[in-house]
Structure formats: C-alpha cells, structure tokens
Structure 1
Amino acid sequence: MTASRTPAGRVVRPARPRLVASDVDGTIMGPDGSISARTRAAFRSARDAGLEVVFVTGRPIRWLGPLEEQLDHAGTVICSNGAVAWDMSRREVITAEAFGLSEALHLQAVIRALHPEAGFSSELVTGPHREAEFVRLHPGLPVEAQVIGPLSSTLGPDAAVVKLLAISPMLCAEEFHALIAPAVTGLAHVTYSDVNRLALLELAVPGVTKARTLERHAASLGIDASEVIAFGDMPNDVEMLSWAGEGYAMEDGHPEALAAAAFSAPACADDGVARVLETVLAR
C-alpha cells in the first residue's frame, strides 16, 4: 500500500520499508559537512535491521567521502542527481547517463541566448571542466583538480557530460529555472538545489532524475516503491519524494519539496531523519 490520504485527510503510512533512500546536503549533513552522532546511529540501526540504505545526492563521485568516513557506507550511492550510480565498496561506476559534447554545447548555446551572463561547468565521471566565469561566480567551490576553460576546447569529441551546471550572477534560482526550463524541454531535465542561495541550475539527460535511478536500483532488488522511505529537502528531490511510498521533506526544506512529499520530518539540525528512522524501526 502506498502512502495516501483517506477522505478525512488522514495520511496512511505503508508497511515497514525495505529500503531507505536519503539525500545528503541539508537532509543529513549540515553546512559544516558533519553528520550527527544520532543520525549515524540511526543508519547503523537501519542496516543492522536488514534495510537497504542508499544515498541519493546531487554530489559527484569525488565528494562522497563523508558518507564513507562518517557513516561507514559501503553500498550504492546515486549521485549527480541520478546520472551516476556508484558502488562505494568496489569503487566503480554501475551506470552513467551522459550528454555527448555536441549536446552539451547546444545546451550552453540555448541558455546563453536567453541569459548571456551565465557561467558553465561540465561534470564528467572523472572530474569537472569549468569556465573561468563559473569559478568566479561560485567562490565557495572546494579546492580540487579541475580543468578551466571553454567546454569546446577542454573536452574531446567523445566526452561524456553527466551533469551540466549553469550559474547566474543576477537571478535567483527560481527565476533562472523559470527562464531556462521551458527552452530546454526535450533536451535536458533541469533542476536545482538552491544550496547557499546560489542561482545554480543542474541539467541532466532527459528523464534522468534521482527517482528514476533509485527506482531501477530498487527493482533490481525486488523492492517496490511502496517499500521505500525517502528523505530530501530541495527541488532536485521532488520526483524521489513523490515516488517513494513514504516520502519525507525536511520541515525547513524548499516549498517544492514540502509540496511533493506526503510527510515532513524535523529539520536536519534537529536530527529529523534519525528521529523518523527510530520511529520506523520501532514499528
């Protein structure tokens, strides 16, 4: 039975889940990059109870270290908003869906025609290729190996771009999304996470979302949507929160996430995911 509302408006929760899927930033991890002891203990208890634990994040592979270091996670991570499924223990890509170079360049041209001031970054499985303007507009980026320069001159014709990022110096994320999304319909799936109030759009191959890749992973284990509990806080979590049998948006999350989820959890700072998991495991 999926989560639903009775005629009286009461929410009916499904049976105890078999799979726990969680976003990372703003959901279980605070701005300082730490995951609380209570949250770490809750995920240990979930694994010990036999639940499949999957983290589903916009982060690229190279930024997954905290999941291993703080949560001892050795399973599947769905990253780059669903474009990549990564096996943490084997250190290998399970699946990846990417734009070719010509597709990525066409998307850049479409966006530049509407917003010439935009800066771009291209995420490959092997690392980022960023324009200088993108780096200037996103000063909080971690220090890491990167290629800086125009996409057309830094990537070969066989390049595979799992995520194209576009940043605006003057619009908010919602305004930037409203401007660009209609123009790239059929060319890309576009979302945003509104982290640090940056006007940063994230574009993936059409149809690629956290939910679709999570659904495929769950199906490979014989797990139905009704047996999945999911947590998230941003617009890039909307499809996942809608699909899961028991979807929780963090109470301090983006309005789009709260509207998509059947349930809400206390804020990340209040150990919301841990508090829900403790209740679920006691059911």
Structure 2
Amino acid sequence: MRLVASDMDGTILGHDGRISSRTVRAFHACRAAGIKLVFVTGRPPRWLAPLDEQMGHTGTVICSNGAVVWDFDADRLISAQLMGLDDVLHIRQIIKNLRPSALFAAETLSGFHLEPGFIENDSSELLAEVTPAPLADTLTPDDGVVKFLAILREGTADDFLAEVAPAVGQLATVTHSAPGVAMLELSAPGVNKAVALAKYAESLGIDAADVVAFGDMPNDIEMLRWAGHGYAMASGHPDAIRAAGQVAPAFEDDGVAQILEARLAMLGNFTAN
C-alpha cells in the first residue's frame, strides 16, 4: 500500500458535510507511515473545503470525475479535460429529444451555469451565486466545460443512464453519483476517475498493484477496477459493489477507516487508541 485514493461523498463525507474523527485519524496515520493520499471526487475545486477544514489535506485532488487535477496547496489548476461548447449543446439536444422534461447545468473552470428549474430549492446556495438562464445564452467557447449535468424529476438515474449513454455514443463519458436523484454527469470522451488516477500514480512511480481505492457510486467503478485493491462501500450502489474486488464496511460504520486501520496494522503502523 503506497497510495490511498478515496472518493468523498458517501465514502468518507456524510450528508452533514462531516468526516468522522476516526476516518481523519486513519488518513493521518497513512500519511505518517509515508503513504501518499489523493482524493478523487466528482466535486469541483471550489467544493473541497472539508478536506482543508477537517482533514488538513495537502497535495493533489482529482476533481470533476477526473476532468480536473487540482494542486490543493497552491490552489491552482494542474490540468483539465474540457468538453467543447458545440458538443455540449449537441448532447443537450440529444437528451432533450429523448426526454423533453430534462433540465441541464454545466460545471466550468470558472463557475457553474444552470437552466431555470434545474435546482428545485430556490433558497439553495447555488442559486444565490448563479442566475439561471438557458445554457446557450450563458456558455461561451472560452468557458471550459468540465462536467455537463442532466436531471429528470422522475425515474431513476440507472434508467436514465441506460437510455442516454447509447444515444450520446462517443460524444461523452456518462455516469452518475447522486443517490436518489435521476441526474447524469457527462464528461469529455475517455475521462473518468481511473484515467486521472493512473496518470497521477505513474507520476509518483506507483503501480496499480500498490494502490488502495475507495468509492461508492457508478462514477467510481473504473477507479475501483483499476486499483490493485479496490473497495466499494457496503452502503454503496450495487454496480460499484459488483465492480470492486472487495467490499468495505458501510459508510455509517467508518468503513474506510476500518480497512485502513487493518492494513496499517499489518504493516505495524497503526495502534487503536
């Protein structure tokens, strides 16, 4: 175990925005043992505050499902895989033809764009920052779309994915990660967490066999398959559990911490308090 790669939401971070003290201790013990840490999330860089405030994380974070690699210390972009504006608008029309009730949003390097109705709760923090408007009116070729979102108010994300993925073909990578919401996340072709993580591990001279990865949703599947030791959370999506080589205890049971403690104990680097 030379590198630990972990998803955030539903894996180490709860709906309350908290990371358990046990999980924080386990990550700190990894760092003290000389094991590298990288967080691999669907979140954009501006939503990484829990890693700083609760974890004291330093180093690299892979964001937006692998489309963005971020230097957390310097608060700067390392690399980004962008979707072209024409492709975004074309994909939007394909999905709209399939599901006329679909609504859309776009995550860019500089912010967030959303259509009216995309977020139902008008008091949300996003709507305090963004004026909803048609994407064709607010996006420009210079914006740099890293993640395109499509949402339905009915059905499941699994059914929506099964319908949309074949229709968009080679135009985008399609996945989902929000439990209980029929929302799809689309990135440039070939972009996923595994691709970005593999490049990062290679830059450190670390093979897949020495990587331990944790995740809980379909956007983690490729990463869990790539890592030498991929753990899906027992509380996670069935597809992620099937894809992973191993299953960690549920998020509610500090599953990531339990696995890390056991692995560190085998190396003689962890003693329970």
Normalization by structure 2: what TM-score?
Answer: 0.94
| 1:278 equivalenced with 2:261 (yes/no) | yes
Aligned pair partner of 1:224 in 207, 215, 220:
207
SS for the counterpart of 1:44 is helix
Whether contact under 8 Å (1:100, 1:159) holds in the other structure is no
Q: Confirm or deny that 1:154 pairs with 2:131.
A: no
> Does 2:49 correspond to 1:65?
yes
1:266 to 244, 249, 259: 249
Which digits, 9 at most, give the CA deviation of each residue in 1:205-247, with x for residues without a partner? 0110000000000001111100100000000000000000000
Distance 1:140 1:60 in 2: 21
> 1:128 maps to which residue?
112
Counterpart residue identity of residue 30, structure 2: A
Structure 1: distance between partners of 2:53 and 2:47? 11
For 1:215 and 1:157, the matched residues in 2 are separated by: 29
Post-superposition CA distance 1:13-67 (Å, at most 9, x none): xxxx100000001100111111111000000000111111000011111110001
Q: 1:83-121 CA deviation, whole Å, 9 max, x = no partner?
A: 001110000011101112111111101110111100000
Q: For this pair of structures, how many residues does the alignment match? A: 265
Amino acid at match of 1:69: E
Q: Which moved more, 1:88-97 or 1:151-160?
A: 151-160
- Mapping of residues 85-100 of structure 1, within 5 Å: 85-100=69-84
Preserved CA contact (<8 Å) 1:265 1:276: yes
State yes or no: 1:187 paired with 2:171.
yes
Q: Compute the RMSD of aligned alpha carbons.
A: 1.2
Structure 2 residue identity aligned to 1:218: A
Q: Which runs of 4+ in 1 moved over 3 A?
A: 138-144
Residues 217 and 239 in structure 2, CA contact (< 8 A), matched pair in contact too: yes
Using the TM superposition, give the Cα deviation of residue 158 of structure 1 relative to its aligned residue in structure 2, in angstroms. Answer: 2.3
Kindly indicate whether residue 159 of structure 2 is the aligned counterpart of residue 142 of structure 1: no
Alpha-carbon deviation of 1:159? 2.3
The yes-or-no answer on 1:246 pairing with 2:235 is no
SS at match of 1:69: helix
Q: What is the letter of the counterpart of residue 126 of structure 1?
A: S
Distance 1:199 1:139 in 2: 19
In 2 relative to 1, CA 140–60 (structure 1 residues): closer, same or farther, beyond 3 Å?
farther
State the SS of the aligned residue for 1:46: helix
Structure 2 residue runs without a partner (length 5+): 267-273
Q: Which residue of 2 aligns with 1:102?
A: 86
TM-score scaled by structure 1? 0.91
State the SS of the aligned residue for 1:41: helix
1:21 paired with 2:1, answer no
